[in-house]
Structure 1
Amino acid sequence: MKIFSKEQIYQWDNLTVERQNISSTDLMERAGTQIFEWIHQRMQGAQVPIHVFCGIGNNGGDGLVLARHLITYGYHVKTYIANCSDKRSKDFLVNYDRVKNVTKDWPVLLNCKEDFPEITPDAIIVDCIFGIGLNRPVDEWLGQLFQHFKNSKAFTLSVDIPSGLRTDQVPTDENDVVWAGYTLSFVAPKLVFFLPETAKFIGQWEVLDIGLDPAFLKETETEVHLIGKYEVLQMYVPREKYSHKGSFGHTMIIGGSYGKIGSVTLSSKAALSAGAGLVSAFVPKCGYTVLQSSFPEAMVVTDTDEELLTKIDFEVKPTVIGFGMGAGTSPKTLSAFEAFLKVNKKTPLVIDADGINMLSKKKTLLKLLPENTILTPHPKELERLIGTWKDDFEKIKKVKALSKKYKIIIVIKGANSITIGNEKIYVNTTGNPGLATAGSGDVLTGIICGLVSQGHNALNASIFGVYLHGKSADIAIQDYGYQSLIASHVINYIGKAYLDLFKQPEPTIEEEKKQVK
């Protein structure tokens, strides 16, 4: 799914008005009606107090359309206008007059804290104050209104985006943003829905189709893409009947040190479970017995040193190499890593953990990385690599710059892991808090290696691998829960994650109703 910028959304609105020969007021009517239909399908006329808070721009106009329909259908609704400035949009004024035609209770004008209505915990708040066009600080009394929403404990539904949140900035004061329980987004979700510092304001989210021009959706390129089942399904490559293990490449996992051989074991198992035809592991001598006994499917090559990687030398010609998990960053290992990079000019690399830490210690090594090398840092490893950042937008900007400079792909691990490559941003939709466990990153590295081994290009392998990793965990928690999930469980569910790609989704409430009719 494409995630559009604020400017692209405005362009899309204007183009729709032009191509469909409608007015902007007609488009606003569509938007407000869709919000009403969403609410009405779930409430079916229930007499719950509904407080609709409108701004004086187009987002407020959407709220007035909603309020009019709620009133017409007999809901218990109160409408308020947050008097944010002297400038009212044309379509807002049109719908303000339309509301006055269906009720004797005109919208209540709010100017200050003393005007705030009482809101009970059993009520519903619909937030239509600011949309994506907000470009100035929120007035103090409006921030107090947003806190009034939060303190009321009422369910809060935000339209398009929680008021006070911008599409391209992290708020300086979280009290100046509405904390939504649910967000109904027009056209597509926004990037801020998925960033650690801003996702907390969104709650659950859903996209509403308001009939914008479909050609624009197909023709317009976006910088950001949201990755779900249907995006990765296009990357899936079925196996030929007469293929053999040599058809799916040979993954080499290099890493480990005394007491940290488990990480290599996890990566190796994950690579094979993801579909690599062959897997070898290169480890210090102390890892030989561990790997041979715990993972008999792997071949093992050892360093001359008992406890550390000191000289990376093997006769195998792998399809892809995963490096760094459990390796440590001793001077001997760093020297071995540098020597290895100087001779490895073509074999694709996936670098994780201490491999990234060594790149951070000696940044000149970045110049030795083959094009399309994949790095998979967690937040602290990323900080060592690019330095600190003031907010998530600066973090993405720095990662994009590093990716472009060295022509590499970087996976920013975390909730909604983000893959950056070829100057594009890919936001993952799978995964859960159960992945916050030792070894889950080693499993991800192995999965990505397994996909590269099978012939996927580096960018697709990263995107697909992150999705499979998260989906495996999503399926596994149904049996283990968040707290008991461990990295080995994720490996065991990779097969089910593959099968899930071809599973038909459960019908929605609306689809079930249509089938009954």
Structure 2
Amino acid sequence: MKLFSKEQIYEGDKLTAERQKISSTDLMERAGMQIFNWMHMRMQGAQVPIHIFCGIGNNGGDGLVLARHLILDGYNVKTYVINCSDKRSKDFLINYDRIKNVTKDWPTLLSCTEDFPEIHQDDIIVDAVFGIGLNRPVDDWVKSLFMHFRNTKAFTLSIDIPSGLSTDKVPEDEDSVVWAGYTLSFASPKLVFFLPDTAKHTIQWEVLDIGLDQEFLFTTNTEVELIGKHEVLPIYKPREKFSHKGQFGHSLIIGGSYGKIGAVTLASRAALSAGSGLITAYVPKCGYIPLQASFPEAMVITDADEELITDIKYDITPTVIGLGIGAGVNTKTISAFEAFLKKNKTALVVDADGINMLSKKKALLKLLPAQTILTPHPKELERLIGAWEDDFDKLKKAKAFSKKHHCIIVIKGANTITVLGGKLYVNTTGNPGLSTAGSGDVLTGIITGLISQGYNPLEATVFGVYLHGRSADIAVEGYGYQSLIASHVIDYLGEAFIDLFKQPEQPIEQEEKQEQA
């Protein structure tokens, strides 16, 4: 799913009006009606008090359209206009006149000096104060109103975006933003719904189709894409009946040190479970018996040193190499790492101490093959790109780093983001159970195993991140967040693949209709 910028959404609104020969007021009517349909389907006429707070721009106009339709359908509605400016949009004024024609209970004008309305916990608040175009600090009294919303503990529904939240920056004051229970967003969700600094302002979100021009939606390129099942399914490469292991590549996992052989075992198992035809682990001598005993499917090559990797030499021709897992940052290991990079031409996935070694000696970045994949955890990312002020600054730095070094960066988190140049791919799978030792090693192995089969680096990363999260989502149903461990993610990887082709369950009512037919 494309995530449109606010500038693109404005352009989409304009093109839609021109191509469909409708006015902006008609488009606003369509948007407000879609919100009404969403609420009506869930409330079915329930007489819960609904408090609709409208700004004086187009977001407020959407709120007025909603209020009018709710009133006409007999709902218990109270409408308010946030009246702290003389500037009003044309479409707001048109809908302000329209609502006055359907009710004697005209919208209450709230000014800087008026008391806020009484709202009970069981009421509903609809936030239609500010939209995506907010470009100034929120007035103190409006900030107090937003805090009033929150203090009531009433369910809060935001239209398009929680008011006070910008699409492209982190708010300086969290109290100046509405904390929504649900946001109904037009055209596409907003990037801020998926970033740690800003996602807390809406618990859930949903996209409403307001009939924007289809050509615009299909042909407009966006800087951000949201990755779910529908986006990764076309990436999947099916296997032919007469295929054999030699067609699916040979993954080499280089890493491990005394006490950290488990990391290599996890990455190797994940690579093979992701579909790599062959897997070889290159480890210090101390890793030979643990790997051969616990993972018989793997081949093992050992370094001359008992406890560290000191000299990377092998007589195989790998398709892809996963590098750095559990390797440590001993000076001997760094020297071996540098010597290896100077002669290597094979595709790389670099994780953990491999990234730490690059951070310690940044000249090595020039030796990475194009589209090398880096999979740092937050602290490793900071060592790589430098400290950041907030999530948008982090993304800016990551994009600049990716462009400069021609690499792919995986920013791990609740919504892991893959960065390639100026493009972001936001993942939708995964859960807090992944906050456990070894889950990053498993991700490295999955991506490595996908590249081994012929997926290009970007496909392997986007698909691998999705599968990693989806496997954890399936596994957590049986283990819970606290008891999920990295091995479980590997164990359920097969079900994550199978899940790609499962049809969503139908509602009971729909099943009954089909049986009757």
For the pair 1:300 / 2:300, whether they are aligned, the reply is yes
Distance 1:321 1:113, change over 3 A: farther
- Secondary structure in 1 matching 2:193: helix
Asked if structure 2 preserves the Cα contact closer than 8 Å seen for 1:256 and 1:263, the reply is yes
What is aligned with 2:504? 505
Paired AA for residue 233 in structure 1: L
SS at match of 2:217: helix
Equivalent position of 1:247 in the other structure: 247
Query: Is 1:356 the equivalent of 2:355?
Result: yes
TM-superposed CA distance for 1:397, in Å, is: 0.8
Distance in 2 (CA, whole Å) between partners of 1:74 and 1:513 is: 31
1:311 is paired with a residue whose SS is coil
SS at match of 1:47: coil
Counterpart of 1:374?
373
CA contact (8 A) 1:127 1:159 kept: yes
Ranges in structure 2 where 5+ consecutive residues have no aligned partner: none
Residue 444 of structure 1 and its aligned partner are, at CA, apart by 0.2
Match of 1:188, SS state, is coil
Q: Deviations over 1:58-83 (max 9, x none)?
A: 00000000000111111111100011
Instruction: Give 1:319's aligned residue.
Output: 319
Instruction: Give yes or no for contact 1:119–1:152 (8 Å, CA) kept in 2.
Output: yes
TM-score (structure 1 length as normaliser): 0.98
Matched residue SS, 1:426: strand
Greater shift, 183-192 or 422-431, is seen at: 422-431
Partner residue of 2:256?
A: 256
Paired position in structure 1 for 2:150: 150
Task: Work out the CA distance in 2 between the residues paired with 1:510 and 1:361.
Answer: 60
- 1:79 counterpart SS class: strand
Partner of 1:47: 47
* Cα distance in structure 2, aligned partners of 1:20 and 1:361: 57
Shift of 1:218: 1.0
SS of residue in 2 equivalent to 1:254: strand
Distance 2:410 2:491 in 1: 23
- The worse-fitting range, judged by mean Cα deviation, of 466-475 and 415-424 is 415-424
Structure 1 residues 217, 514: CA separation in 2 closer, same or farther (over 3 Å shift)? farther
The offset of 1:423, in angstroms, is 2.5
Q: Kindly report the root-mean-square deviation, in angstroms, between the aligned alpha carbons of the 2 structures.
A: 1.4
> For residues 329-380 of structure 1, what are the alpha-carbon distances to aligned partners after superposition, in whole Å with 9 as ceiling and x for unaligned?
1111111100100010x20000000000110001000000011100001111
* Alpha-carbon distance change, 422 to 488 in structure 1, aligned in 2, over 3 angstroms: same
Alpha-carbon offset, residue 18 of structure 1: 0.3
Contact in 2 for aligned 1:324/1:352 (Cα 8 Å): yes
| TM-score (normalizing by structure 2) | 0.98
Q: 1: CA distance between counterparts of 2:379 and 2:489?
A: 23
- Report what 2:73 is aligned to: 73
Amino acid at match of 1:414: G
Alignment of 1:470-489 (within 5 A): 470-489=469-488
Map of 2:398 onto structure 1: 399
CA drift at 1:111: 1.1
Q: Which aligned pairs between 1:84-483 and structure 2 lie closer than 5 A?
A: 84-112=84-112, 114-344=114-344, 346-483=345-482
For the residue of structure 2 that corresponds to 1:425, the secondary structure is: strand
How many equivalent pairs are there?
516
Question: In structure 1, what is the Cα distance between the partners aligned to 2:510 and 2:222?
Answer: 30
Aligned to 1:30: 30
Contact 2:400–2:421 (CA<8 Å) still a contact in 1? no
1:422 shift after superposition:
4.0
- Tell me the residue number matched to 1:10: 10
SS at match of 2:327: coil
Q: CA deviation at 1:509?
A: 8.9
Give CA-to-partner distance per residue, 1:131-156, whole Å, 9 cap, x none. 00001110011111111001100000
C-alpha separation in 2, matches of 1:510 and 1:137: 48
Matched to 1:273, the amino acid is: S
Residue type matched to 1:118 in 2?
Answer: E
Separation of aligned partners in 2, 1:82 and 1:334:
61
The DSSP-based 3-state class of the residue aligned with 1:420 is strand
- Secondary structure of 1:328's aligned partner: coil
CA displacement at 1:202 relative to structure 2: 1.6
Contact 2:84-2:112 within 8 A present in 1 as well: no
Change (3 A) 1:290 1:77: same
Output the amino acid matched with 2:383.
Answer: R
Alpha-carbon separation, structure 1, partners of 2:202 and 2:363: 41
Residue 102 of structure 1, CA deviation: 1.1
Using the TM superposition, give the Cα deviation of residue 409 of structure 1 relative to its aligned residue in structure 2, in angstroms: 0.6
Q: CA deviation at 1:177?
A: 0.3
Name the amino acid aligned to 2:273. Answer: S
Q: Which runs of 5+ in 1 are unaligned?
A: none
Within 2, Cα distance between the matches of 1:473 and 1:394?
Answer: 29
How many Å separate the matches in 2 of 1:83 and 1:392? 33
Secondary structure, aligned partner of 2:339: helix
Which whole-Å deviations, capped at 9, do the CAs of 1:107-163 have from their partners, x for residues lacking one?
A: 111112642101100011000000000011100111111110011000000000000
| One-letter amino acid matched to 1:445 | T
In 1, Cα distance between equivalents of 2:96 and 2:114: 23
- How far, CA to CA, are the matches of 2:196 and 2:359 in structure 1? 23
Letter in 2 for 1:156: T
Q: How many percent identity over aligned positions?
A: 75
Give the SS at the match of 2:157. strand
Separation in 1 of the partners of 2:116 and 2:510?
Answer: 40
Distance in 2, matches of 1:111 and 1:255, equals 65
| Whole-Å separation in 2 of the counterparts to 1:510 and 1:427 | 34
Question: Deviation per CA, 1:194-252, whole angstroms, max 9, x where unpaired?
Answer: 11100000210000000010010111111111101011001001001111101000000
3-state SS of paired residue (2:81): strand
- Displacement after TM superposition at 1:22 (Å): 0.5
Contact between 1:113 and 1:145, CA under 8 Å: does it hold in 2? no
Q: Is the 8 A contact 1:113 1:144 kept in 2?
A: no
CA distance in 2, matches of 1:402, 1:246: 35
TM-fit CA distance, 1:508: 5.9
Q: Provide the rounded CA distance (Å) in 2 between the counterparts of 1:356 and 1:286.
A: 23
How far has the Cα of 1:487 moved from its partner?
A: 0.2
Runs of 4+ in 1 over 3 A off after TM superposition: 507-517
**2-structure distance, mates of 1:156, 1:122:** 11
Per-residue CA distance 1:287-339 (angstroms, 9 max, x = gap): 10100001000000001111111001111110000011111111111111001
Distance 1:113 1:254, change over 3 A: farther
The 3-state SS of whatever aligns with 1:200 is: helix
